[in-house]
Amino acid sequence: MSQSILILPGDGIGPEVAAAAKACLQAVAKLEGLEFTFSEAPFGGAGIDACGEPLPEDTLKAAEAADAIFLGAVGGPQWDHAPKRPEQGLLGLRKALGLFANLRPVKVFKGLEHLSPLKEDRVAGADVLIVRELTGGLYFGEKREGDEDAFDGCSYSRAEVSRIAEIGFKAAQGRKGKLTSVDKANVLATSRLWRKTVNDLSSQYPDVTVDHLYVDAAAMALVTHPARFDVIVTENLFGDILSDEAAVVAGSIGLLGSASLGASGPGLFEPIHGSAPDIAGQDKANPSGAIASAAMLLRYGLNQPKAADRLEAALESALQHEERTADLGGTAKGSAFAHSVLAHIHKEQVMEPAQ
């Protein structure tokens, strides 16, 4: 049975990296005997230009009907003073689809420790999954804007904390069995509720070890001892900042993918980098994060773990053996590196019978 994938190329380098991800999905599908149907729709700044809305009605309908959604990137300076910003489309899509859990893996591949600007012995063995709550907190709270006074309200309920904490606990069960909950419970009432809820849930997961860190301590530990972490679960704002900071561990924000999941319906998969308008159209963008997101789409969105394993292995092999893009100290064009990954997808097929 065919599975449908909606691609939202978006803005800036979004269309470039989305094209690379689509090509990899098509290649893996062919080798694994899978059938995917692809469609595209305007979104973000492209949605504003085409329809006057960052999340056009037809795009939302297409998203709701898809099995999985891939997003390139949104935003750009040309919309900085527009009545509606491209990022509003992303927040609107998350809310409409109920995408409350954001998964961002950060892994340092063996032999690639030198890609990180941190000392190699510091990042060796780092393999972290950041689970970020996505539809609550400051980003979705009551707001008041003004030239002399402004307000952003932060609110969380026990139910909201419980459902994201459960995602973190279950992820830890399939990994090293350690969950670190990040908050600011010494200052914030929402964080005290967060910590109490996580502790109350912990008795249901006796095979998972739980510890707590304040967000400032977690930020320091991510760059001084990242291998201490297994799964991090945290609220919206803290997760946004920490997951971007964690990119330095792997070596580049261009390497990292993400998955946004809800209780049901399609998931949204996107690289964590921005639209990078300064390099858009120059074939300089690293497609690795988009390809990693495509692998997460296969694993979490379409329940195709074997295909996901194949794509992840091809990406890791290309990073180890091929010329890399400029953000990783290489000279390869983005499209050239994407072709390298495609070549390694087929190499994995050749090597598989011997395994």
Longest distance between any two alpha carbons in the chain, whole Å: 68
Q: How many CA atoms lie within 13 A of 353 on its CB side?
A: 2
Catalytic: 327? no
Catalytic residue among 49, 152, 244, 309: 244
Q: How far apart are CA 72 and CA 29, in angstroms?
A: 20
Catalytic: 300? no
Catalytic: 184? yes
**Which residue has tokens 């008795």?**
203
Q: How far apart are CA 49 and CA 46, in angstroms?
A: 5
Catalytic residue among 67, 107, 183, 184: 184
Catalytic residue among 200, 211, 216, 278: 216
Catalytic: 244? yes
Neighbours of 228 (CB within 10 A): 14
Q: How far apart are CA 323 and CA 193, in angstroms?
A: 48
Catalytic residue among 11, 67, 230, 240: 240
The partner residues of 165 in beta bridges, in order of sequence, read none
Catalytic residue among 11, 67, 107, 139: 139
Q: Which helix (H) or strand (E) holds 89?
A: helix 86-97
Q: How many CA atoms lie within 13 A of 281 on its CB side?
A: 4
Nearest Cα residue to 293 out of 265, 254, 252, 248 = 254
Q: Catalytic residues, which ones?
A: 139, 184, 216, 240, 244
